[in-house]
Amino acid sequence: MNFAMSILKSAEGDGSSCQRYTFAYSNPLAGKAKFIHTYKCDGNPLPSFEGEPKTLELPDVDIDTLTNIIWKNLNGDNKVSLFVRYIDLETGKYESRIVNKNV
């Protein structure tokens, strides 16, 4: 089992150029998640995310509970959407959830 995630962003704020950063993971660890968020920190304007996706320790909860926990803890002024996927590492079976602020 392996997976990859990508970050797309403008080149130093110039929308005429797109930069793609791909992160590939082999043999992921059970109970760990990778998390990409849009912004590096607070600021005006908000600075773009930098670096590798963050690792999160997953609580032993179902996907809907985890999705709600993450969504409620994102900054309400800046959150736009959230994608969460649970993958059974033995079978490869997965469940996904998407939350959009404006839907």
**Lowest-pLDDT range of 16-20, 30-34, 36-40:** 36-40
Judged against a pLDDT cut of 90, whether residue 64 lies above it is answered with yes
> What is the C-alpha separation between 76 and 90, in angstroms, rounded?
36
**Taking all residues of the chain, what is their mean pLDDT, rounded to a whole number?**
85
Q: pTM, whole model, 2 decimals? A: 0.68
> What is the C-alpha separation between 38 and 79, in angstroms, rounded?
9
Contact yes or no for 38/23 (Cβ under 8 A): no
Write out pLDDT tens, residues 18-33: 888 899 999 888 888 8
> What pLDDT sits at residue 40?
65
